[in-house]
């Protein structure tokens, strides 16, 4: 299959229509997903399935999330905004994998700070984003439980791995009004949580649909599985 953008136009349009049918209603999010070539983030053997609404392996027992959940989590993250373009200043992404969600987030934040615990995926993510000339994403090899490990505050945090309970420490990294979008729970029992920081002492917690993510693990890995 050719890497030409024209080759994927029809299946990409079908993906966007399916997301609409599944309830994704923010056209800013749909537009961002239509602009990000998902096949670039996959091995060529998976290109024929790149725009199906399913998670696909990226190696190291990790997957690229299905387009629906990428769209839904992004929609939650920016739902309190209405303008087009970069509506957030700084966003932290935990578990960036091969960089697909990072590329989508790059449309909505001035800067995306992406953390990935598996070293070869960090390299792959950087390569993918560089190939697309996305320059507002920084990818770091680090433990997601430690956040960015620098004195930064974020307007939003997205996590692509599921802890048993969301780390309260992550809420401390949010600006007032910022959101943490994170899957929570054991395998087979995960729900999508959206926690909004209302003040330094008060948070609003909303629980949404069932999801399925890899578990959030502590520490870093050089790629051993």
pLDDT digits (tens, 9 = 90+) for 71-113: 999 999 999 999 999 999 999 999 999 999 999 999 999 999 9
Catalytic center residues:
65
Q: Is the dihedral of CA 43, 46, 49, 55 positive or negative?
A: negative
- Tell me what pLDDT residue 172 has: 92
Give Cα separations from 114 to 87, 91, 144 (angstroms): 18, 8, 9
pLDDT digits (tens, 9 = 90+) for 104-156: 999 999 999 999 999 999 999 999 999 999 999 999 999 888 888 778 999 99
The closest of 135, 169, 88 to 182, measured between CA atoms, is 169
pLDDT digits (tens, 9 = 90+) for 161-185: 999 998 889 999 999 999 999 999 9
Q: Is the dihedral of CA 85, 90, 91, 95 positive or negative?
A: positive
Q: What is the mean pLDDT of residues 10-27?
A: 96
- Tell me what pLDDT residue 225 has: 45
Domains in the chain, please, with CATH?
A: 67-211 (3.40.50.150)
Question: What global pTM score does this model have?
Answer: 0.93
């Amino acid at each position: 299959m050719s890497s030409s953008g024209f080759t994927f136009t029809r299946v990409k349009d079908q993906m966007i229509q399916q997301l609409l049918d599944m309830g994704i209603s923010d056209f800013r999010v749909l537009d961002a997903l239509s602009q990000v070539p998902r096949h670039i983030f996959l091995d060529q053997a998976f290109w024929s399935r790149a725009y199906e609404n399913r998670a696909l392996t990226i190696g190291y027992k990790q997957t690229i999330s299905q387009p629906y959940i990428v769209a839904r989590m992004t929609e939650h993250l920016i739902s309190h905004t209405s303008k087009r373009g970069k509506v957030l200043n700084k966003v932290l992404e935990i578990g960036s994998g091969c960089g697909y969600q990072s590329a989508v987030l790059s449309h909505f934040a001035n800067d995306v700070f992406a953390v990935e615990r598996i070293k070869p995926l960090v390299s792959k993510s950087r390569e993918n984003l560089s190939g697309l000339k996305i320059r507002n994403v920084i990818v770091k090899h680090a433990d997601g439980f430690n956040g960015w490990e620098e004195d930064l505050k974020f307007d939003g945090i997205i996590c692509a791995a599921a802890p048993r309970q969301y780390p309260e420490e992550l809420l401390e990294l949010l600006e007032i009004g910022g959101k943490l979008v994170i899957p929570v729970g054991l395998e087979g029992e995960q729900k999508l949580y959206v926690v909004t920081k209302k003040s330094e002492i008060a948070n609003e917690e909303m629980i949404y649909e069932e999801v399925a993510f890899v578990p959030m693990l502590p520490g870093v890995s050089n790629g051993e599985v």
